Amino acid sequence: MATLTAALYGALIVYLGGWFLGMWSGNFSLLLFMLTMVTLCFWLAERFVFQPRRLAAAINLEQQDAARRAVLAQQGITRVDGDIEQAKHKLLMQPWWLDWTAGLFPVILIVFLLRSFLFEPFKIPSGSMVPTLLVGDLILVSKFHYGVRLPVINKKIIDNHPVARGDVMVFRYPVDPRLDYIKRVVGLPGDEIAYLGQKLTINGVLVPTVAQGEHYDEDSMSYSPMYTEKLGDVDHKMRVDLRRSAYYGPEPHSFPNAENCRYSPEGVVCKVPPGHYFMMGDNRDNSMDSRYWGFVPDENIVGKAFLVWMNFGNLGRIGAFK
């Protein structure tokens, strides 16, 4: 068993090392599920096999010592050398390979349940959500806001709040579901979304904006106009880059339901299909979003982002956001 445990930890180190070095993409939900199952097997083996064996060995040692002392007492010897407490301690002590498997099961189980059904942490890797979220923000995502989903397979089993226009949502990237993306919900099923001439309209109605001066983006080291935009019941900040034009590639994009979108030199108009959502970044002209790769199906939803819990470069970032 010690060899098996060492082999499992070796495989885990290789997997995490390759993931960290970018040699392959990892699936943390699946990894955590597998770790939970493996440590559960060791915990059950410890509870019903290994621990009873150690207890039986310790009891047998006590019985042997008591029998020896009884024989010596019959011979008139009352003072007997030898203390079995240290030997008992060694017999009852959990070996290292159980301590690092069965011993970790409760902790891994708690992390798995919290991450799967309550809250999951994410780190913002790009500037697509500037100025709402900055690179380096560590955020929390509510996994139950839109309903309870089974871990790994992401199948919803219990409904909760419906997706609302203006929500900041984390979802599995439709092009590669192994990756998690974060954008703002702009279009709901049935909506017609138009982004033309850097103006956003929903179902033919221009989304109201209020100028808020200029915003300095540290990543691009440039200033761009910033606005407060009202999407549904949510007022949030967004920025545009007047130096950039609407360009979505030399060919019409190929993605599921691409026929629902019309591209032109001014921008794009899309009709959101049932069970799907149209997502855009708050950094409108520096965001790869539904304009480029299409709609997000409901089964790809991970949860609603709601809190910056840490930014090591700027503690003032900590707090809730819209």
Active site residues: 128, 183
**Cα end-to-end span (Å), the chain:** 51
Give the separation between CA 165 and CA 96, rounded to whole angstroms: 52
Contact by Cβ (8 Å): 147, 155: no
Contact by Cβ (8 Å): 249, 153: no
Helix (H, G, I), strand (E, B) or coil at 170: strand
Give the separation between CA 192 and CA 181, rounded to whole angstroms: 22
131 cis-preceded (ω within 30 degrees of 0): yes
**Of 152, 127, 148, 147, nearest in space to 137 by CA:** 127
Q: Alpha helices, DSSP H only, in the chain?
A: 2-20, 28-45, 51-74, 85-92, 96-99, 105-117, 290-293
**Of 243, 295, 307, nearest in space to 268 by CA:** 295
